[in-house]
Structure 1
Amino acid sequence: MENIVAISAALGAVVGLILALTGAGGAILAVPLLLFVLHLSVAAAAPIALLAVGLSAAVGALLGLRAGIVRYRAALLMAVSGTVFSPIGLWFAHRLPNGPLTLLFAAVLAFVAWRMFTQAAANQPQQPAATPPAAAGLAAQPCQLDNRSGRFVWTASCTRALALSGVGAGFLSGLLGVGGGFVIVPALKRATNAPLHTIVATSLAVITLVSASGVVSTAMAGRMNWQVGVPFAAGAMLAMLGGRLVASRLSGARLQQGFAVVAGLIAIGMLAKVAMAA
């Protein structure tokens, strides 16, 4: 038992450190690590990953609330939508064979790796930035911030856009044990004119609430492996807090590209594992 606790804590520390250094995305490596090292199925690893993701996101969400940059009404709407569909994802996760579920996770991981690599490359100052077409971009966004209050002006199209993004994040969090930030952040960028720091903080609040619903659902069903989950989450939290101390000294774009390469290789490894088991 001591061996499992130590290994779980070490794996969690790897996830927490990557999360701190890259700023996002590191948590999606939780499930593959549990698959390869502890030989858990995707369905068994997903709630453990959710536990670590939720606790890590809660730290960032609380900091955002203190700074007043979380749009909590939007976060609550998205979280409620996600909470409804998270148990549906969990239901599918425990009924789908491990092979197809692993293939699906590998596809999602490959997509996240590709997008993070291209975004990191685009953020490097290689050429002068073009003038953004502000008027056209704002007109297409259903959720607009009120200049005086700093809050969203609620319309039917805004409510629909936020609710649908919450549905996607909630379903994937239950199905694959991912926080859903790779769904929420792009959705908020498309649907709102909020600044990036507000989008990230609001996304963390949604991830915290949706992950909590998945963890509670799994615990109530008696499917949470606490022996692995508790040390894994504790290791992730401690490593994330420690990693933040050195993250500012390192190149964010290069770190994200490095993470993207590692994630892509892990996705290939998951595909190979399924092929060998077939």
Structure 2
Amino acid sequence: MLLASLLGLLMGLVMGLTGAGGGILGVPALVLGLGLSMTQAAPVSLLAVGAAAAVGAIDGLRHGLVRYRAALLIALLGALFSPLGVYFAHQLPEKLLMGLFSALMVLVAWRMLQREKVEAGPSDHGAASWGQKNCMLNQQTGRLAWTAKCSATLAALGAVTGAVSGLLGVGGGFLIVPAFKQLTDVQMRGIVATSLMVISLISLIGVGGALQAGVRIEPMGWVFIGASIVGMLAGRRLCAQVRARTLQVGFASLCVLVAAGMLLRALA
């Protein structure tokens, strides 16, 4: 139980510090640290990620940072595609799932280490130029302009996030945050808050699908979930005191190490 508490605390802490990316550490912590299988670990990780993300999302809603219409659309499509991911998770071999997860962690590490390009224009936080962004804020109202292109983009993002979430037991923040930066001119604080709301909704839906499929959460899993919420609260308090680049390099290095551990476990 102590190990479950420490691992949950670490995952929540990283999640709070990185703005949702730390959720990808949940499954490796449960598989490598607590000896669960991938199918056992996925719902525990999703519930821990969803509960911790909900804490951050509520804080974002209080401060008016969440783009809640966009979050609800992404979560709706995620809800439709998450059961598909859960279904395939129960059909694919354990070793293949672990290999896929390792590859995903390396991809997240690579994305994290890439230095962002600064472009001229009203928004400088994404790699796309001003004219290339699919979802733009209305300069008068400050809300997203809901064009057909914008709606289709967010719907597609929700579908992919939901399927990956159900398949591998991750919240999807590593997909949502860079996609929002690339395709919208929403500022970073709003992106993180919106991402946390989406993650909380999709994760809880994914947990429901897994429980329906017969997976049960053991007491050790509940300890991990509770500790992750505490870690999330601590991480959000500490994030302003740590340099962003230090967080990026540290998190990416941790992802590569954990990916190597997962791959060795899969090949054993």
Task: After TM superposition, give the deviation of residue 254 of structure 1 in Å.
Answer: 1.2
- Relative to the length of structure 1, the TM-score reads 0.89
Report the AA paired with residue 169 of structure 1: T
Determine if contact 1:162/1:191 at 8 Å carries over to the other structure: no
1:52 paired with 2:40, answer: no
1:26 paired with 2:14, answer: no
Instruction: Quote the RMSD (CA, aligned, Å).
Output: 1.9
Secondary structure at the residue paired with 2:241?
A: coil
Task: After TM superposition, give the deviation of residue 179 of structure 1 in Å.
Answer: 0.7
1:228 paired with 2:220, answer: yes
Q: Which runs of 5+ in 1 are unaligned?
A: 124-128
- For this pair of structures, how many residues does the alignment match? 264
1:16 paired with 2:27, answer: no
Q: Which residue of 1 aligns with 2:133?
A: 141
Q: Which residue of 2 aligns with 1:70?
A: 66
Task: After TM superposition, give the deviation of residue 43 of structure 1 in Å.
Answer: 1.4
Q: Which residue of 1 aligns with 2:254?
A: 262
Deviations 1:119-163 (A, max 9, x none): xxx36xxxxx86525698222222111112111111111111000
Once structures 1 and 2 are overlaid, which stretch shifts more, 134-143 or 262-271?
134-143
1:167 and 1:244 map into 2 onto residues whose CA distance is 28
Pick from 71, 83, 94 the counterpart of residue 87 of structure 1. Answer: 83
Pick from 216, 231, 236 the counterpart of residue 244 of structure 1. Answer: 236
Change (3 A) 1:60 1:116: same
Structure with larger Rg: 1
Q: Which residue of 2 aligns with 1:185?
A: 177
Secondary structure at the residue paired with 1:144?
A: coil
Q: Which residue of 2 aligns with 1:117?
A: 113
2:131 and 2:238 map into 1 onto residues whose CA distance is 40
1:79 and 1:164 map into 2 onto residues whose CA distance is 11
1:132 paired with 2:120, answer: yes
1:267 and 1:220 map into 2 onto residues whose CA distance is 29
Q: Which residue of 1 aligns with 2:143?
A: 151
Q: Which residue of 1 aligns with 2:190?
A: 198
Task: After TM superposition, give the deviation of residue 42 of structure 1 in Å.
Answer: 1.2
Once structures 1 and 2 are overlaid, which stretch shifts more, 25-34 or 189-198?
189-198
Task: After TM superposition, give the deviation of residue 272 of structure 1 in Å.
Answer: 1.8
Task: After TM superposition, give the deviation of residue 24 of structure 1 in Å.
Answer: 3.5
Report the AA paired with residue 120 of structure 2: P
2:182 and 2:46 map into 1 onto residues whose CA distance is 26
Deviations 1:185-223 (A, max 9, x none): 122222212111111111111111111101122223330
Report the AA paired with residue 173 of structure 1: S
Runs (4+) of structure 1 exceeding 4 A deviation are 133-136
- Relative to the length of structure 2, the TM-score reads 0.92
Q: Which runs of 5+ in 2 are unaligned?
A: none
Determine if contact 2:20/2:195 at 8 Å carries over to the other structure: no
Once structures 1 and 2 are overlaid, which stretch shifts more, 192-201 or 104-113?
192-201
Task: After TM superposition, give the deviation of residue 50 of structure 1 in Å.
Answer: 0.4
Report the AA paired with residue 73 of structure 1: R
Once structures 1 and 2 are overlaid, which stretch shifts more, 63-72 or 237-246?
237-246
